[in-house]
Amino acid sequence: MLDISKRVFLAPSCLKDQKTLDRLLKILEEHKVPKNKIIRGIDMDIISSGDYLIRCLGEEIQLFKIQFTLPFGYTTDLLLNL
């Protein structure tokens, strides 16, 4: 279950194919993620530890949890394939 108080960032790879994007948005809706928490693209100015990143590789959709690590930026831990 996703923590719906956190933001979900959609990697640019998820925005290229409308079919994948529609499928992804439906999954997020099923998990009750508010639309205002879904960020299209990665905005380093607002990323926080605990937020989520979704990457798309072809038909595969992967959900990662973001951990901010100064001074290096952020790391991601794979949570599951959607």
Instruction: Please return the burial class of 52, using the count of CB atoms within 10 Å of its CB with bins 0-12, 13-18 and 19+.
Output: buried
Give per-residue pLDDT as tens, 32-72.
999 999 999 988 888 889 999 999 987 789 999 998 777 77
10 Å Cβ neighbour count for 61? 19
- Judged against a pLDDT cut of 80, whether residue 26 lies above it is answered with yes
Helix (H, G, I), strand (E, B) or coil at 72: coil
pTM for this prediction: 0.87
Query: Which whole number is the average pLDDT over 3-17?
Result: 93
* Spatial separation of the C-alpha atoms in residues 65 and 19, rounded to whole Å: 24
Contacts of 75 (CB under 8 A, 6+ apart): 66, 67, 69
Higher per-residue confidence, 49 vs 82:
49
What does pLDDT average to over the chain?
89
